[in-house]
Structure 1
Amino acid sequence: MSAIAPAAAGEAIQLTTVRQRSMKVPITLAAVTLLLAALFLFAPRDGVSTFRLGDRGSSIALPDVSVPAAATCWTVVALLVLLTLWSAWDAWSYRRSGLWLTIVFAVLGVFAFLTWAAAGGLVPVTGLLFGAVSLSVPLVFGALGGVIGERVGVINVAIEGQLLLGAFAAALLSSITRNPFVGLFGAMVGGVLVAFVLAAFSIKYLVDQVIVGVVLNVLVTGLTGFLYGALLAPNEAELNNPVRFTRIEIPLLGEIPIIGPVLFNQTFIVYLMYVTVAVVAWALYRTRWGLRLRAVGEHPQAADTVGIRVNTSRFWNVSLAGAIAGIGGAYFTLVSVPQFGKEMTAGLGFIALAAVIFGRWDPIRAALAGLLFGFATNLQNLLTVLKTPIPSEFMLMLPYVVTILAVAGFAGQIRGPAASGKPYIKG
């Protein structure tokens, strides 16, 4: 922050820089460390925790790793305390802690928690990571749609509706044509339709973008629920029996230990996700399209003065965002679940919106945030299998607790695009 001191005529203006400490990250790390320590202290678990690193179908066999549960947990807690103190020292010295510190803290914290949960049991690492990637696919596509929408100046609260209508259209068209690619195209069209309504009301008629997004989510939920009961349920064999994508293993890459089966033995939509993240990240910062999109979202008046049609650019880019989010909806019915169900997205659109904020409106960061939330969701399933003493109600809350912690603890003071959510009136 800079302050300008008043100066007499002819005198130089003096700038004073005021530095501010931000203790948000150290406080968050300290809270997590205390929670883990309290868990290990008041609910101790003895025994040996086994981590299975290898995949039974892999040609490269890795041995299982066994560690003593109690000793490992407290050793990791000591390391977490050191990392927390490091982060606090950085904040006290007016430095921002490196991203590596947060990543190492998260990995160690998850490892300690899994060691505690798996005392006397087995953690299939490959299966855990594979499930995390699978559950994160709709979140990543939804987050990419949110990034494009907000970067161009429109808050895309309707991600939930785009995912849901995309899932419905994919199931219907794939069932009719017996072709999953037709279903995928239908999902993109469904996402565009929701985005079209969002763009029309928020850009042309200047209706509040958040209100339009919420209304669209409710509308799509009701519409797909009605069509499911009136159309799909009575004709399930013909209209709700989609042909799904099968897994495609990439030679050599699929044999890499641990990450090979996780990343390179996936379906077409997952490989499309890799490409989409890379293309959007490159195009947003390296092409004229990305430059214009960011200009419209940051300073639409300046963009207008150089000949960029602001509202037209917003309209088409919001439609593009809807198409990308629709692909995420297709994953539900063309890969994950064999048929469409009412409200099957279960609020994942709002978690995708949180991933946009946590990812600081950057495609790669938002994709990583989506992977984090997918991991939290799959971790909930693993904890149920391991029969941990944690109440089942809390395990159902786990993905949302992680979302709140990530957004409030690490992304609370970041600034989004300056014109996001603000309608532009020419002249």
Structure 2
Amino acid sequence: MRAFQLYTCAAFRGLVRSTVATPARTISQSTPLSSSTHDVDGSSSSGGAASTSPARTSWSHVSSRFSSFPVTGDCAAILKYPYKVISTEQELKEAVGVLQRSRQIAIDVEAFCTPEAIKTPQLGRVSLVQTCSDVVPVVFLFDVLSLSVPVFMQALRPVFHDETIRKLFFDCRRDIEALSTQMDLTPKRVLDLQLLFTALQWKLRSVNRRSGMTYVLKSVAGIHRQEGDSAVQTAMMVGDRPVWDTRPLPEHFLEYAADDVRHIHLLSTYFPSLTQQVSEAAVERLTAQYVEHYGIGHAVTEEADAQPAQVNTAWLERYIGPGGVCSFCGSKGHTETECFRKLNGNMRCSFCGGTGHTARNCFQKHPELLKCDRCGQLGHSTANCFRANPCKHCGGNHRSENCHYRAHIANA
């Protein structure tokens, strides 16, 4: 992806709003939603939000891939921001006052999981709305169920409609749709960091694939999501129940929700250095197209993208410009340093040792590249999903030719 001058995390500290490091006033955790013992100084009974990994490459001009930066200083502090559950109108008033002083706010939504039988891309009932701003080092978890939609909507409307405040999302499509449909809230001046990452890929390789948060975090910041996230994700995919309707929510659920906006805020401190290839203003215009498409006040009947894991190519060309090609062979999908023709087909993956691919595209290193759009599991594509294509003999989650029931019938 990448052909940029890279810098150490220290160079990025100036990009973080100076107010982030401003000591915050003490905020107590006076909510029945959680038994968290978090303090504003960043301490937590559950430990850090994410583990860090050391940098893997030197700080030099890299033409083909992102390097992982060491997460230190102010960057690491973002991962330790405590959360504050907002469940009363007084807490809501105070939190909104903080957000109104912000220049940018990371936003995410947690909603009830819908039963698999419904098979709808839309989110269920909104349970939490998470924010992380550049004013105080605290994540606000707005408990929409406790506050009620009308109260939350009235309080947050001035913030969402304030065009002097930039709202940061990561894959805004379903969140925008849910906020617009359920709350009549369509935020203005939105920047989708997933679109920014894809736009960079597009300018270098003509690749319009969407990358998940796990992959982007590892590629850009060199960090891994904590193990507790997998437990929450499993609960959201198994059992056909809403999950986020539970009160009080478990500690690891609240941490999971807070992590989403911590990570968005963290990524925003890295991306500005990469706008030599694509401007943030252009990505804001691209994001505005998605907000216009999904923020229509009711469920979208026609998706903006041909595939869920892709960005609309026509919109990329309109707002970002023509896609990049290999400067050696003129082909799309790779850069010169990844070109098999230039390397005479001797490309070897530095991660698994296999030939014919790079570590950037290695499914062993990045199983999320094979994330199934049908069930959300990693390691296989939709075409190979057993939920979509169960065994034709017994309906089980395995290949039909490997069915023991079939063998039993044949031997009977």
Structure with higher Rg: it is 1
- Normalising to structure 2: TM-score of the pair? 0.22
User: Per residue, is there more strand in 1 or in 2?
Assistant: 2
Identify which of structures 1 and 2 has the higher relative contact order when contacts are C-alpha pairs closer than 8 Å and 6+ apart: 1
User: Per residue, is there more helix in 1 or in 2?
Assistant: 1
- Normalising to structure 1: TM-score of the pair? 0.22
